[in-house]
Amino acid sequence: MQAHEIMISKVYKVKESDAVRSVVEKFMDHRISGLPVVNDRNEIVGYVSDGDIMRYIGKHQDVVVDFLYYSAVFRGDVEEFEARARKLLALPVMSIAKKKVITVSWDEEIEQIAAILGKKQIKKLPVERDGVLVGIISRGDVIRHAFKTIL
């Protein structure tokens, strides 16, 4: 079984010129956790995930080392958190997106797709054909198709 047989063809994506606001809106509207970032030719130039968002808005801490113990000194409050979140929404998506994106070809075999998803510990793989985004495959897609004839 090949990628084009199991991929989702309707891919939610963002353009490299979009702000992070577009990403967060798509995450919320479609209940998804990651998006390919494409240029005007629909070529994949990045990938942005909920983890990228969490790293930006997460609470930062400074660790103070003492001779007898470690204590974490937390900085910030609700207003500071909201200010970071507002600042994030205005950033260009490529400022937080991963630029080295793992993809598969549209004719990649399901066994190889499963191996990549497992080894790289990623949730989704964009699918390309002739350098252009044509679909996306999740871990769930692989599991559903791998076991549908057996169960």
Q: Does the pLDDT at position 38 exceed 90?
A: yes
Give the separation between CA 114 and CA 109, rounded to whole angstroms: 9
Q: Which residue type, as a one-letter code, is found at position 117?
A: L
Task: Provide the pLDDT confidence category of residue 64 given band limits of 50, 70 and 90.
Answer: very low
Q: Higher confidence at residue 141 or residue 151?
A: 141
Task: Provide the pLDDT confidence category of residue 59 given band limits of 50, 70 and 90.
Answer: low
Q: What is the DSSP letter of 60?
A: P
Q: How many helices (H) and strands (E) does the chain have?
A: 6, 8
Alpha helices in the chain (DSSP H): 3-6, 20-30, 50-57, 78-90, 110-120, 139-147
pTM for the whole structure: 0.82
Task: Provide the pLDDT confidence category of residue 67 given band limits of 50, 70 and 90.
Answer: very low
Position 74 scores a pLDDT of 44
- Biggest alpha carbon distance in the chain? 62
pLDDT in tens, 69-86: 333 334 456 677 778 788
Domain 3-147 CATH class label: alpha beta
Position 73 scores a pLDDT of 35
Q: Does the pLDDT at position 109 exceed 90?
A: yes
Q: Supply the mean pLDDT for the chain.
A: 86
> CA nearest 135: which of 41, 39, 42?
42
SS3 74: strand
Give the separation between CA 97 and CA 44, rounded to whole angstroms: 11
> CA nearest 105: which of 138, 143, 131, 139?
131
